[in-house]
Amino acid sequence: MKRIAVFTSGGDAPGMNACIRAVVRGAVYHGLEVFGIRRGYSGMINGDIFQMSSHSVSNIVQRGGTILKSARSKEFMTPEGRTKAHEQLQKFGIEGLVAIGGNGTFTGATIFYDEYGIPTVGAPGTIDNDLYGTDYTIGFDTAVNTALEAIDKIRDTADSHDRIFFIEVMGRDSGYIAIQSGIAGGAELVMVPEVLTPISEVVETLKSGWSRQKSSSIIVIAEGEEEGNATEISEKIRAQVQSDIDMRVTTLGHIQRGGVPTAYDRILASRLGLGALEGLMNGEKNVMAGIVNNELVYTPFRDTIRLPKPINEDLLRMVKILSV
């Protein structure tokens, strides 16, 4: 293999630039030509492809977002779009790909290989930490710390005004950000998609706190919680408790995606980027590079896409114990 390309796809995540840097500099070290593809599969279709060098990735390890930009391409979901993408890769002589993204990115790469035989090795770039085959994904640690900083500040206001705050964090299908930021932020309750938490249990937790003269509470809610979003949950609870309790809702939203990556995310992204590149060089294809028990492993895309990554129930148990 002489020429490879790297791209980012799907939602951006802090640490993606560190991963791009590792792929590019690893390729240069190993004597490969390396190209960057802007805007993911959309750029692949449109031929937005350029050669990169070690200098191309100078001074980016500390930057959030992705210098290669990102996009979700509906056209790549069609056979015609994938044909255009393959033609562009042929034009540049690209023989293999490193894809930094999540489930959608890896699904596209799997179909692309089945049709055209272009091997891809993935690096898990998503703040949700919801990919099977790695303990942590690129951007997750930074997102947790961003959420935690907000929770700490909201705690000050909650305590000053004797309020209940319902804080909604990202995680449409995964409660990893909610559970870790909730534990670190001393939340009284954490609600996640993986485990149903009835409204009655939330009310009971709040009443138990009031009986112990607890005047303020923080409830962290993942956006995919079955009982609804933070606003809906607060309204359900308000209907069941005394009306003079001051309740507020804060949705953290996309601030969790941006920002300077933590040291952990920079190191993780560098390991995964180099691992993805060297896996590709060694004949790996249609796999994701991940870190499990601090060891580099490769997991087939089909398993990464198909298999769930459950939350450790000990973490949920910890929330109950520590909120007493």
- Least confident residue range of 7-16, 65-74, 205-214, 301-310: 205-214
Task: Tell me what pLDDT residue 98 has.
Answer: 98
pTM summary value: 0.95
Instruction: Answer for the pair 312, 182: CB distance below 8 angstroms, yes or no.
Output: no
185 and 108 in one domain?
no
Residue 17, in any domain of the structure: yes
Q: Is residue 251 part of a domain?
A: yes
The answer to whether residue 67 sits within a structural domain is: yes
Is the domain of 235 the same as that of 127?
no
Which runs of consecutive H residues, i.e. helices, occur in the chain? 16-29, 40-46, 79-92, 103-116, 140-161, 176-184, 199-211, 230-238, 263-281, 301-306, 313-322
- In total, how many domains does the chain have? 2
Pair (132, 147) in one structural domain: no
Q: Which of 12, 114, 128, 141 is catalytic?
A: 128
- 117 and 33 in a single domain? The answer is yes
pLDDT in tens, 131-155: 999 999 999 999 999 999 999 999 9
- The string of pLDDT tens digits covering residues 220-268 is 999 999 889 999 999 999 888 876 789 999 999 999 999 999 999 999 9
Q: Give the pLDDT of residue 243.
A: 66
- List residues forming the annotated binding site for substrate: 126-128, 163, 170-172, 223, 248, 254-257
Q: Could you tell me if 131 and 161 lie in one domain?
A: no
**Statement to judge: residues 244 and 179 lie in one domain:** yes
| 128 labelled catalytic | yes
Whether the CA torsion 100, 106, 108, 110 is positive or negative: it is positive
One-letter amino acid of 216: S
Binding residues: 11, 21-25, 72-73, 102-105, 126-128, 155, 163, 170-172, 186-188, 212, 214-216, 223, 248, 254-257
| CA-closest candidate to residue 83, choices 31, 119, 56, 44 | 44
Domain span including residue 200: 142-256
Binding positions for Mg(2+) = 103
